[in-house]
Structure 1
Amino acid sequence: MSEAPILSNVADKDWWRGAVIYQIYPRSYQDSNGDGVGDLCGIVERLPHIASMGVDAIWISPFFTSPMRDFGYDVSDYCDVDPMFGSLADFDAVVETAHSHGIRVMIDLVLSHTSDQHPWFKESRSSRDNDKSDWYVWSEPAPDGTPPNNWLSIFGGSGWQWDARREQYYMHNFLVSQPDLNFHNPDVQNALLDVAKFWLNRGVDGFRLDTINFYMHDEQLRDNPPLPKEERNADTAPAVNPYNHQRHLYDKNHPDNVKFLERLRAVMEPFGAAAVGEVGDSQRGLEILGEYTSGDNRMQMCYAFEFLAPERPSATRIVEVLNNLDAAAPEGWACWAFSNHDVVRHITRWDLSPSGIRAYTTLLATLRGSICIYQGEELGLPEAEIAFEDLQDPYGIEFWPEFKGRDGCRTPMVWDSTHQNGAFSDAKPWLPVPSEHYHLAVEAEETDPAALLHHYRRALRFRQDHPMLKRGTHSSLGTAGDVIHFMRSLDGEHMFVAINLSDTPSDLDLPAGDWELIGQELGGAHASADGKLHLGPWQPYFAIKRD
């Protein structure tokens, strides 16, 4: 039996650079105790599948104690596991098992807000003069009794809720039951840094930081200005949400937020831990990404919403995003994702054919930055259609039917098509397993050499085998019609990448030089004798040379 890998974050503090991170939504991964909800022991059971993908780390969405109004993103105890998911001992087993497979563990820290059931908030709302009275964002009403300003909630309506106990409003960027913490209070910052230390001491290797740019608000509570209609988009919130009608200058993106991030980085540094921040901003996402990841004393990486957008990114759009990132964040580091637990799965969102799915997977594996894979995308799971009576997501219930919420991307993983509920659970799952997912179960794809699962493995292995794809620079970004092409370089080694992102054949001039053809396992094209590259629909090309 081979020895377990040795993972030393302190010895390799750059382990995160170019890493492949597999996101687990624990409610929907594997139920181990027959209650219809996934749990931590279920993750332990399925870690061999994740290891077979060749990923570097897992990111586990929240499993903390919570009333589950927003399915764990409303925390009532940061330092314990909700009984629904198991126990702290079960979490320790996840860390130990993952590490034995050479996989690091990142957990989802929700620091911008808590549940209204958190003891901190219960004390804060009890009076205006208790020890935690200033731990949340409270305000007097306007003279006419209305909220103090025009800030809106992402989940709809005002971003303020009246509290009869204090006769004041409290701020909530999300659900009414998710009051925002006051990061201008140093005691709040210290308490949250203690939370990070608790999990670092428990063996986690890093954090995914939910809504990282929402931590701080404008203390003067100034109104947000309106956003012209032509500048609105639906990257951060669905088009039907009035949240898109404002330029969010004052309810988030506070310049002092970086000071807290620097404090958090100082806590993480002795452990060699890394963080990836979620930047939710439709206007300044890449700029904020650069601000939060520049230098070596802030966050290691962030992701914005450019490739989580509704429209399929064309070759031209991808080059535009990458060039904009280079301009806005020359020292920054992105973490790219096409799908996650908050958006329609990209296979459905972009209406991709099987060949198109493979092409975009190959592209993701060759981009500069780190990358996230969302559970089930390796199987090609489409977005599920959930009947209104089966909806769980309060976001979807609020905006139905124009926006159907996030349940469609959160349905249970399918492991075996011959078992009830795809072998996710012996009980009725918390969300139904779509019938169209059964034939895409892991067991079925394992035995089909042409299945998408094997392409994901090959693409990720290709990335792991070529260090310039993980940690190298990129240059010569360009397009030729629907073909994107660029160079990746590291330590005198260069890779030329070209990928046809359409179902139409295309020709491309090859760069000069003595290039060695690689990547045939990914369906790569051969160069022709005329010095032209003839790419079939959705076909890639890879070649490598050394100085």
Structure 2
Amino acid sequence: MTSEFKEMQADMAVQLDPADKDWWRGAVIYQIYPRSYQDSNGDGIGDLTGIAQRLPHIASLGVDAIWISPFFTSPMKDFGYDVSDYCDVDPMFGTLADFDTVVETAHGLGIRVMIDLVLSHTSDQHPWFAESRASRDNAKADWYVWADPKPDGTPPNNWLSIFGGSAWQWDGRREQYYLHNFLVSQPDLNFHNMEVQDALLDATRFWLQRGVDGFRLDTINFYFADKELRDNPALAPEKRNDSIAPSVNPYNHQVHLYSKNQPENLEFLKRFRATLEPFGAAAVGEVGDAQRGLEIMAEYTSGGDKVQMCYPFELLQPARLTASSAVETFARLNAAAPDAWPCWAYSNHDVTRHVTRWDLSPAAARAYTTLLVCMRGSVCIYQGEELGLPEAEVPFDELQDPYGIEFWPEYKGRDGCRTPMVWEPSNQNGGFSSAKPWLPVSHDHLQRSVASQEKDPGAILHHYRRALAFRRMHPALITGASSAMQSEGDVLWFTRTQDGREIFCAFNLGDTPATLEMPDGGWRQIGTELGSAALSGDGRLHLAAWQTCLAERDAE
């Protein structure tokens, strides 16, 4: 750690409150994809030491926590989402001591640390699976989902894998099939076995005892499979585009009624929450379901005894969020469970970056950023989002993602959102590495680097900082109540209220000017640093294309 870095860390030091068990409510969480954040040792792959070195940048944004995608020991068939040891760091990323440095540095900067737990499945190279597949009568024989073939030798049922084809793989040693909802090399654990649950909770405690503040739970709704292994029903053709998988994937042809979303999951989540409670830790679950995502999120976060937050896929969909779709989304959420706590994200490591996915102009990108910090719930920001990075074009011969390789060229995979972070434009690697990076750095990204945007007062990087600072200045935006969302044409509006203050939030999510009748009485303009429209004296709000209006008053 350089002396310059130590001095910067000391200047930015913030004291975390260990007694604040509700720190997650309304928190802004910054997602780090470790392979692509910062390479500190010149091997072309990002690592934990690199993350520690770049934490001052994250702190400068004003976020509350980081979420680090998997860095556990792994054969990397799915880049860390195939774990072979839950309680160690893959040498590619460093050591446990390096992780401890990340936690210590982050805490010194007032940032909490969340890590990505992949509990639904392991790598086929995990010792648990090696023992389980050895015979039908060993101590871990029932730790994974095994099933006999049908009389004709075919798989036990019609379940499909997210990565295409059957979700069942034949294993000659046991003369049985094992379930894999993802890659063949990612066998699913059997959560109906309490020993499996206990082992996973032990791994959770291991990281809590090292100072972790919380977890992002990968594919939280995939933990249990139907005990009877019943066939999934067909999905109506007109609904096949409403899926978490690309349209070319046969996964879209089913309603995944029995392969995930099982009711037994609720009891496990209660056990998981009880494990977190003594540590004041929190969890956000990834709900991988396009049809019932909001309803499942409501089930998993309501009642105060399961996970604190979930994020569904509604804002990660290919279709741009519009005023009317925002109204519909929040109405569904409120109908399912008004006390459920969402965590909203526009981008992550699995979807096309939203600037490209929604074809956003710079003005539109700013409007959506402001909307994100005003909606009820917590917020996830994906690395590079603060730079307005578009999706990178990665040629086929440089693809790494097995998902993209399988379905190319109709679906190009996830590599385009996983290319290295760009820190400065002086070389083709963007300051990420001194060696050839594991994925190419987009030339288009270089001109949007952190160093370049730091020098430009009008850059979107500064808009993110202003938006997050604005959120911190107004507690109603963090934990306040929200009125029902309303829309008129392209204009979306709602109010947030807390401690005698009411904030009016309006957004023109369209390319043409719009006019809106303001609610009666006593509003004062705020948010001018975010381009908030001036209030007129005639009670009508005039919004330019992609303009917002933020105003406050004393609540009645």
TM-score by length of 1: 0.99
Letter in 1 for 2:528: Q
2:274 equivalent among 257, 260, 266: 266
- Deviation at residue 231 of structure 1 after TM alignment: 2.1
Separation in 1, partners of 2:513, 2:428: 43
What pairs with 1:52-71 in structure 2 (closer than 5 Å)? 52-71=60-79
Counterpart CA distance in 2 for 1:7 and 1:151 is 46
Could you say if the C-alpha distance between residues 408 and 476 of structure 1 is closer, same or farther in structure 2, counting changes exceeding 3 Å?
A: same
Contact 1:292 1:298 in 2 (8 A): yes
How far, CA to CA, are the matches of 2:442 and 2:523 in structure 1?
47
**2:513 matched to which residue of 1?**
505
Q: What corresponds to 1:176 in structure 2?
A: 184
Q: 2:46 aligned to 38, 49, 52, which one? A: 38
* Matched letter for residue 221 of structure 1: L
Equivalent residue in structure 1 for 2:405, among 382, 397, 421: 397
* Corresponding residue SS for 1:23: strand
Q: With structure 2 as the length reference, what TM-score do the two structures score?
A: 0.97
Q: Which residue of 1 aligns with 2:15?
A: 6
Stretches (4+) displaced over 6 A: none
How far residue 419 of structure 1 moved from its aligned partner, in angstroms, is 3.0
Aligned to 1:295: 303
5 Å-filtered alignment, 1:331-370, equals 331-370=339-378
Which residue pairs with 2:7 in the alignment? none
Residues 59-208 of structure 1 correspond to what in structure 2 (within 5 A)? Answer: 59-208=67-216
- Secondary structure of the corresponding residue to residue 421 of structure 1: coil
Provide the rounded CA distance (Å) in 1 between the counterparts of 2:16 and 2:304: 21
Q: CA deviation at 1:2?
A: 5.7
Structure 1 residues 208-217 or 502-511, which shifts more?
Answer: 502-511
Cα–Cα, structure 1 residues 402 and 234, in superposed 2: closer, same or farther, change >3 Å? Answer: farther
Give the C-alpha shift of residue 503 in structure 1.
1.5
Separation of aligned partners in 2, 1:434 and 1:308: 22
Moved more, 73-82 or 311-320: 311-320
1:385 to partner: Cα distance = 0.8
SS at match of 2:46: coil
Gaps of 5+ in 2: 1-9
Judged with a 3 Å threshold, the aligned counterparts in structure 2 of structure 1 residues 479 and 279 are, in CA distance, closer, same or farther, namely same
Does the 8 A contact of 2:89 with 2:95 survive in 1?
yes
- Per the alignment, residue 5 of structure 2 pairs with none
Q: Distance in 2 between matches of 1:473 and 1:235?
A: 31
Change (3 A) 1:3 1:518: closer
Residue 256 of structure 1 corresponds to: 264
Determine if contact 1:197/1:267 at 8 Å carries over to the other structure.
Answer: yes
Q: In structure 2, which of residues 445, 457, 472 is the aligned counterpart of residue 464 of structure 1?
A: 472
Residues 233 and 282 in structure 1, CA contact (< 8 A), matched pair in contact too: no
**What SS is found at the alignment partner of 1:79?**
strand
Q: Deviations over 1:171-196 (max 9, x none)?
A: 00000000000000000000000010
**1:232: Cα distance to partner?**
2.2
SS in structure 2 of the partner of residue 318 of structure 1: helix
Aligned mates of 2:546, 2:274 — CA distance in 1 = 45
Q: How far apart, in 2, do the equivalents of 1:456 and 1:243 lie?
A: 37
One-letter identity of the residue aligned with 2:22: D
Residue identity over aligned pairs, in percent, reads 71
Asked if residue 442 in structure 1 is aligned to residue 450 in structure 2, the reply is yes
Measure, in 2, the Cα distance between the counterparts of 1:3 and 1:505: 41
Supply the distance in 1 between the matched residues of 2:416 and 2:224 (Cα, whole angstroms): 31
**Amino acid paired to 2:347:** S
Distance 1:121 1:418 in 2: 47
- Check the 8 A contact 1:420/1:426 in 2, yes or no: no
**1:451 equivalenced with 2:459 (yes/no):** yes
Contact 1:303 1:334 (C-alpha < 8 Å) held by counterparts: yes
How many residues align structurally? Answer: 546
What residue identity is the alignment partner of 1:126? A
The structural deviation recorded for 1:426 is 0.4
Give the equivalent residue in structure 1 for 2:29: 21
Deviation at 1:3, TM superposition (A): 8.2
Native 8 Å contact 2:49 2:94 kept in 1: yes
Paired residue type of 1:536:
A
Decide whether the 8 Å contact of 1:235 with 1:308 is kept in 2. Answer: no
Taking the TM superposition and a 5 Å limit, the aligned residue runs for 1:319-330 are 319-330=327-338
Counterpart of 1:51 (choices 48, 55, 59) is 59
- Match of 1:282, SS state, is coil
Distance 1:4 1:389 in 2: 44
Q: What is the alpha-carbon distance in structure 2 between the residues aligned to residue 500 and residue 457 of structure 1?
A: 21
Residues in 2 aligned to 1:3 and 1:367: alpha-carbon distance in whole angstroms? 28
Give the counterpart letter for 1:286 in structure 2: L
Matched, 1:223 2:235: no
8 A Cα contact 2:167 2:181, kept in partner: yes
Gap regions ≥5 residues in structure 1: none
Which residue identity is paired with 1:486?
F
1: distance between equivalents of 2:307 and 2:553? 33
Tell me by how many angstroms 1:331 deviates: 1.6
Q: Deviations over 1:366-397 (max 9, x none)?
A: 01000100000100111011110000000000
Change (3 A) 1:2 1:401: closer
Question: Alignment partner of 1:463: what SS?
Answer: helix
Aligned partner of residue 333 in structure 1, secondary structure: coil
Contact in 2 for aligned 1:359/1:540 (Cα 8 Å):
yes
Counterpart amino acid of 1:279? V
Q: Report the residue type matching 2:90 in the other structure.
A: D
Matches of 2:215 and 2:275 in 1, distance apart?
12
Cα displacement (A) at 1:244: 1.0
- Matches of 2:498 and 2:31, distance apart in 1: 28
Separation (CA, whole Å) in 2 of partners of 1:362 and 1:503? 17
**Alpha-carbon distance, 1:515 to partner:** 1.1
Find the partner of 1:239 among 241, 247, 271.
247
Q: Which amino acid aligns with 1:497?
A: C
Partner of 2:6: none
Q: Deviation per CA, 1:63-94: give whole Å up to 9, x if none.
A: 00000000000000000000000000000000
* CA-to-aligned-CA distance 1:203-231 (integer Å, 9 cap, x gap): 00000000000000001000001011122
Query: What is the CA–CA distance in structure 2 between the aligned matches of 1:523 and 1:368, rounded to whole Å?
Result: 21
CA offsets 1:397-454 (integer angstroms, 9 cap, x no match):
0000000000000000000101340000000000000111110000000000010000
Q: Give 1:234 deviation, angstroms.
A: 4.3
**8 A contact 1:235–1:310 mirrored in 2:** no
Offset at residue 274 of structure 1 (A): 0.3
What is the Cα deviation at residue 241 of structure 1?
Answer: 0.7
Query: Offset of 1:513 from its aligned partner?
Result: 1.4
Tell me the CA shift for residue 6 of structure 1. Answer: 2.5
Letter in 1 for 2:70: P
Aligned to 1:306: 314
TM-superposed deviation, 1:33: 0.1
| Post-superposition offset of 1:518 | 0.4
Q: C-alpha distance in 1, partners of 2:30/2:24?
A: 13
Tell me if the contact between 2:242 and 2:291 (Cα under 8 Å) persists in the aligned partners.
Answer: no
Q: Is the 8 A contact 1:235 1:306 kept in 2?
A: no
Deviation of 1:233 (Å): 2.4
Name the CA distance, whole Å, in 2 between partners of 1:323 and 1:48.
Answer: 38
Give distance in 1, aligned partners of 2:273 and 2:449.
40
- How far off is 1:480 after superposition? 1.8
